[in-house]
Structure 1
């Protein structure tokens, strides 16, 4: 069964193209490590909630846009192997894929406010196009 990594990020709206460029370069690493699909979604209708919402979850400022992203893996085993590879790169940066080098591909957002997690699908409806 597939496995999903999900992300919510606050990106300065002025950095939209920088984010797209960063994502294209970094997301290709996920594909090379076995992901079947990566989707990056720029906030379009992200409403304020009464108690909580996407904007509050990442402490988005007025000049920031919320990005919702996910990485689809064929299974958790493939995802865990990819994450282990990336962990190894952090411990041994000389072996790291240059696309993941923060000097060459800096994050155009505050990574400390990124929310992420791994999810096991329990219901799927519709075509997986």
Structure 2
């Protein structure tokens, strides 16, 4: 298994817009073969003595954080799926270049190999 993970700071008042886009994106990724597409939003974000995702994402008091992942069979499968997704015009049409729902430059991303699954 291979997983692409994302940590995205987003203005709280734009969360419904993000949810709409994420639901559309999920359908596209799944259409091209992603095994799982998950988007979660911060809820219980503070534990004494532990840094929070809000801090790591650089969120302001008007922002929250989205933690999401997409899973694939392996890295080669991820590359194959993402190539098709990025070539799909629907992905580009859902992004408003003049007023994006979130700032991609502030998003954290990583590709991960499976270590433990229970």
Q: Scaled by the length of structure 2, what TM-score is found?
A: 0.85
Identify unmatched segments of 5+ residues in structure 2.
none
Deviations 1:34-61 (A, max 9, x none): 1011010011011277674311222111
Structure-to-structure mapping, 1:72-111, within 5 angstroms: 72-86=71-85, 89=86, 96-101=87-92, 103-106=93-96, 107-111=100-104
Cα shift at 1:75 = 1.8
**Over aligned residue pairs, what C-alpha RMSD do you find?**
2.0
| Aligned mates of 2:94, 2:12 — CA distance in 1 | 21
Write the deviation string for residues 18-46 of structure 1: whole angstroms up to 9, x where unpaired.
Answer: 01001011222211221011010011011
CA contact (8 A) 1:48 1:55 kept: no
Q: Is the 8 A contact 2:21 2:94 kept in 1?
A: no
Which residue of structure 2 lines up, in the alignment, with residue 54 of structure 1? 53
Distance 2:83 2:71 in 1: 17
1:8: which partner in 2? 7
CA distance in 2, matches of 1:104, 1:16: 15
What residue ranges of structure 1 are gaps of 5+ in the alignment?
90-95
Q: Is the 8 A contact 1:46 1:66 kept in 2?
A: no
TM-score normalised per structure 1: 0.78
* Cross-structure match for 1:114: 107
Please say if residues 8 and 116 of structure 1, whose CA atoms lie closer than 8 Å, have aligned partners that are also in contact: yes
1:83 CA displacement: 2.9
